[in-house]
Structure 1
Amino acid sequence: MGIIVWCVLFAIVIFFAFVATRMAAQNKEDGLHDTGLAIIEFGRAFPNEAIRQLQATENGQAVFVRLHDNKAGFMRNMSRHFSCHLIEPGRVRVIGSETGRGLVIDFLDAPHHNGNFEFASAKEASEVSLWLLGNYIAEPDKDLPPGNISAANKQ
């Protein structure tokens, strides 16, 4: 009888240890703090886009991606998968948050991703806002040769 009780207690301890380690591993995987994972997931979604720089939010739930040719992208942790999309020029609105370290962003093509994104510093937030601003190129201006931009503005 004593051996059965000890076996049951041992099984209960093993079960709780297994559950505790799985929960700790899940909490580590909840965010996008690992830039390698972010690069792999975004590269899988958009294999023809070259990533120049990544900037994760403070909580690691979202990553803003600076791409070649002044494009920008966005990744968000959706608990069981990562949602990735390219931000089309002129299809995002950005306002600084009250904290100074965050941005209130409205994605016109993906409103379910709208929100307040806090970064570790004001410098990181301003850099992401510049990426999004660099991505905001008006269609008529894109077709003008570089020498004609000032002439077009004088008209």
Structure 2
Amino acid sequence: MLWTITALCLLLAGLIFRQSFRRDEKADAAEDTGLAILEFGRAFPDEAIRQVIATADGRTVFLRLHDGKAGCMHAHGHHFACHLIEPGTVRVESRGNARLAIAFANDAFEGGTFTFRSEGDAAEVSLWLLGSFLPRSAGGEPRANGGAS
């Protein structure tokens, strides 16, 4: 009987330790956008980052860049896949509260359904993705809204 109680106590302690470790891991991933900035900067050194929004699980980070473009990073374990989003290569659909379905046409980067911490974050990312495709003028330069060309 004593061995049974000891085994159950050890099993319970192991489950509690495992659950607390998972909770800490998720909090670290969700709060560490600095690593995303460094990795994206290493992949695309000429792109200046203006704003960063991570998904609720912290595995995917969307970046707003200085010239109206957008970027995306997805964690694969300890490795990151960085993607500079090109005009005409993305489709965005709302999937309910704080969720977006994003599909990349060139399949070089994995799309999917992404859940954000808030509806505001999801709306902001969708605006970045859709707003990064400014119409081009005859000279190849993006036109400013409201300006004559």
**What TM-score results when the alignment is normalised by the length of structure 2?**
0.73
Classify 1:144/1:123 alpha carbon distance in 2 versus 1 (closer, same or farther; 3 Å).
closer
Name which one, 1 or 2, has greater alpha-carbon Rg. 1
Contact 1:32 1:77 in 2 (8 A): no
Matched ranges for 1:43-122 at <5 A:
43-97=41-95, 99-110=96-107, 112-122=109-119
Q: SS of the residue aligned with 1:69?
A: coil
Unaligned runs of 5+ in 2: 1-16
Kindly, what percent of the aligned residue pairs are identical?
Answer: 48
CA RMSD of aligned residues (A): 2.7
Classify 1:144/1:94 alpha carbon distance in 2 versus 1 (closer, same or farther; 3 Å).
closer
Match of 2:32 in 1: 34
Q: How many angstroms apart in 1 are the aligned matches of 2:128 and 2:29? A: 22
Contact 2:98 2:119 in 1 (8 A): yes
TM superposition shift of 1:90: 1.5
Per-residue CA distance 1:87-136 (angstroms, 9 max, x = gap): 00121000001x32110000112355110001011111000000001112
Q: SS of the residue aligned with 1:31?
A: helix
Q: How many angstroms apart in 1 are the aligned matches of 2:76 and 2:32? A: 16
Contact 1:32 1:62 in 2 (8 A): no
Relative to total residues, which structure has the larger helix share, 1 or 2?
1
**What TM-score results when the alignment is normalised by the length of structure 1?**
0.71
